[in-house]
Structure 1
Amino acid sequence: MDNDLVPAAEACRLLGISRSTLYAYVSRGLLESRPGHDHRSRGYLRRDVERLAQRKRLGRGPARGAAQSLDRGLPVLETRISLIRPDGPYYRGRSAVAAVRAGATLEDTARLLWDCGSQDPFADPPGDWPARVVALAIDTELPPVARAMAVIPLLALQVPHSFQADPATRRALAATLLRQNAALMVARRPAGPVHRLLADAWRPGDAAFAELVRAALVLCADHELNVSAFAARVVASTGAHLHATVCAGLSALSGPRHGGATARVYALLEDARQCSDIGRLVAGRWKRGEDLPGFGHALYPDGDPRAIELLAMLRNAPVEAGALHLVDAVIAAAEAHSGRRPNVDFALAATCHAHRLPAEPALAMFATSRLAGWLAHALEQQAQGRLIRPRARYTGVMPDAHAADAGRDHPGA
């Protein structure tokens, strides 16, 4: 199983390294150790050891670099949109955390990400739903992301193809898409500002909660070439409509390893709420080789600044003290047993859990926010006019091996 723990000796054998090198790998973050089954030794996740061993087998040079590039490795393309630094993401050179503190909205952030200059693509009112989609758009029985994925392709039929349009027209279309997607997340008609649309749907009249939603939308608007942004960018490189690029991003986000992280964090918080010993719950998961959803981030080894900012705002919000105590107890237990700190997925789920909301709004906030980044990447890729088409490194059976097998099976041939 992927969660199997292998002892140090087995890890060294699989990797072809000494104990000292194994410990060096741990200190450099290439592997992580966990308490062994006898609680005195240390174990290593088999999946991580095997993944590292595969990388070593690729050898050095361009082939290895290309193989590692698609897993938070070497940069694979250039962008002017966002930069990830230890203190958080920067949008065209401006700190996302600083933007939150300055009162920026998602619309402000989108204008920056899309490099709008003096143009305000949100100047015109968003309009209402076309007749052919209104029933789907306000169907509260559908999950938010599924509702958006069902409606957005139909909305594309109402507008000219974006690939041939001038930049100002494309930005205006992007602004409409951003508002429409936000409305689809809460099964309402488009209206702005986006953070108030969402907050009023979930907690009407709660100004403090609306501020948390505003902050979350700005902090999550883009994060360089994350999975969904890369998927959207690849589709945009084909010349596809902006609506298609948005659907690609939503499809990627629907997977449990990306957008599904907030639901798993929420489930962890629910388990913690129902147990009498949070420390024991977290320690047990960690010792069994299970992950702690919402903790740790490969790009922020010292802690995710987006989570730090959002959790600080949550602690100052007028929510029940018991809810905050639960959040802080889970954080403390996770740090004590794993050394990991909360990431933005945890902060989003904790915001919803502390406000007695279900898990869905956490993903809806993320999907609403990240759309601004997907559209930024789509616009940039369309402007570059190049197709993204990487090569694959074949590791299967070679054709000559099949020929040899055929010869053995048919000796008279």
Structure 2
Amino acid sequence: MSMDSDLIPAAEACRLLGISPATLYAYVSRGLLESRPGRAHRSRVYRRQEVERLAQRKRLGRGAARGAAQSLDRGLPVMETRISLIRPDGPYYRGRSAVALARAGATLEDPARLLWDCGSQDPFADPPGDWPARLAPLANAAELPPLSRAMAVTPLRALRVPPSFQADQAPRRALAATRLRQNAGLLVARRPAGPVHRLLAGTWRPGDEAFAELVRAALVLCADHELNVSAFAARVVASTGAHLHATVCAGLSALAGPRHGGATARVCALLEDARQSRDVRRLVAVRWQQGEDLPGFGHALYPAGDPRAAELLAMLRAMPADPATMELVEAVVAAAAEVSGRRPNVDFTLAALCLAHGLTATHALSLFAAGRVAGWLAHALEQQTLGRLIRPRARYTGLPPDGDADAPHD
């Protein structure tokens, strides 16, 4: 993508938006737009696509029907939930800070109980059980990609379990607990047993207590993030009355996309490019100035920085890790801050955590999936309790029907 076609000067951005330069700078400070260094001294340029998207939002106005049209990309709220709240200092799980929970030593099972509104019930009291003999070869097939293995076995496990949408809350939560632990087992091709962070860390780096502590905190911080893409997908499926197993499959399928869970792979690629570069700052600056993204940096919901990433990065710096990789991570973080003003998000820190311990992008994605399933199940349980189908309407903008010249279209 060339500089000329994708990046535009401030004057052009103001023209497209119909605003003054002062208002344009205000948009940047509020996180509505991002600016990058231009070719001329002290000049700034803007991504045409972002400017045009913001201009379209301005044209849509605030009417109910038109407002809904712009709400599906981190815009207006589309439904109510009691599960989680996103604030500048990070997500809150039913009023409890995720960062504080991670800092206090909570395991993934603790926010799961909180997110599922368990009260005095402990859905993890019973063991998750072993794989049925017919499924064990597939569940333990380590040569398969983790998400693919989980998506293959999960619907087959549902064949032996009664439908969950007709059950009372306690059996649903118990099923959710089994589903969470079995999902973790599938992601590492091991029999599910013990706390999830112990299962993952013990499989990837046996005996490394410092690494297990990082995995524990990462799982807690990734447990839920409101109506993210995978949670919304799981919730839509749950609204049909489908089994909790189906909602987990929906979440895994959404997570597999490169614009969601696949972001960790793009972070690892950036770090590898930086490792091969003689000048990390120049590498980052050239990418940014040419209109390329910096994967793992910036977050639309955290203009001042992702608190989850800050917490994990602080822990990673304080614990033993590969010095060369940590030096590389610090160099990329510093370069991104200087060039773009952006700070790391949770995708970056998950990738950095794994690379600093000799693991890969696949492990980072599995870590994310093992934690986020707690949130998917929370949204599924809440939606099943509501008993309503999620079925939005589309605003048709195509060709009018044959012979109907007066049909509305854009």
Q: Which residue of 1 aligns with 2:257?
A: 255
1:399 is paired with a residue of what secondary structure?
A: coil
Q: Which residue of 2 aligns with 1:91?
A: 93
Q: Which residue of 2 aligns with 1:209?
A: 211
How far is 1:38 from its partner? 4.7
Aligned residue pair count: 404
Seq. identity, %: 80
Q: Which residue of 2 aligns with 1:322?
A: 324
Q: Which residue of 2 aligns with 1:308?
A: 310
1:255 is paired with a residue of what secondary structure?
A: coil
Query: Does the Cα contact within 8 Å between 2:193 and 2:199 map onto a contact in 1?
Result: yes
Q: Which residue of 2 aligns with 1:411?
A: none
Sort the Cα spacing of 1:22 and 1:84 in 2 relative to 1 into closer, same or farther, 3 A: same
Distance 1:188 1:330 in 2: 35
1:157 is paired with a residue of what secondary structure?
A: helix
| Cα shift readout 1:348-402 (whole Å, capped 9, x = no counterpart) | 00001111111111100100000000000100110011111112222222337x6
Which stretch shifts more, 357-366 or 8-17?
8-17
Of 67, 74, 83, the residue aligned with 1:72 is: 74
Distance 1:114 1:398 in 2: 46
How far is 1:168 from its partner? 0.8
2:70 is paired with a residue of what secondary structure?
A: helix
Sort the Cα spacing of 1:138 and 1:396 in 2 relative to 1 into closer, same or farther, 3 A: same
Distance 1:369 1:261 in 2: 16
Mark the runs of 5 or more structure 2 residues left unpaired by the alignment: none
**TM-score, with normalisation over the residues of structure 2?**
0.95
1:391 partner letter? R
Mark the runs of 5 or more structure 1 residues left unpaired by the alignment: 406-413
Query: Does the Cα contact within 8 Å between 2:61 and 2:67 map onto a contact in 1?
Result: no
Of 340, 347, 350, the residue aligned with 1:348 is: 350
2:217 partner letter? A
| Cα shift readout 1:262-321 (whole Å, capped 9, x = no counterpart) | 111111111111111110011011001001111111111111111111111101111132
Query: Does the Cα contact within 8 Å between 1:55 and 1:64 map onto a contact in 2?
Result: no
1:54 partner letter? Q
Q: Which residue of 1 aligns with 2:156?
A: 154
Matches within 5 A, 1:11-410: 11-38=13-40, 41-399=43-401, 403=404
Sort the Cα spacing of 1:59 and 1:109 in 2 relative to 1 into closer, same or farther, 3 A: closer
Q: Which residue of 2 aligns with 1:408?
A: none
2:165 is paired with a residue of what secondary structure?
A: helix
1:134 partner letter? A
Aligned-residue CA RMSD (Å):
1.7
Which stretch shifts more, 58-67 or 32-41?
32-41
Query: Does the Cα contact within 8 Å between 1:269 and 1:353 map onto a contact in 2?
Result: no
| Cα shift readout 1:4-25 (whole Å, capped 9, x = no counterpart) | 1122233233333343333332
Q: Which residue of 1 aligns with 2:9?
A: 7
How far is 1:40 from its partner? 5.1
How far is 1:403 from its partner? 4.5
1:205 is paired with a residue of what secondary structure?
A: coil
Distance 1:14 1:95 in 2: 40
**Consecutive aligned runs of 4 or more in structure 1 exceeding 4 Å deviation:** 37-40, 402-405
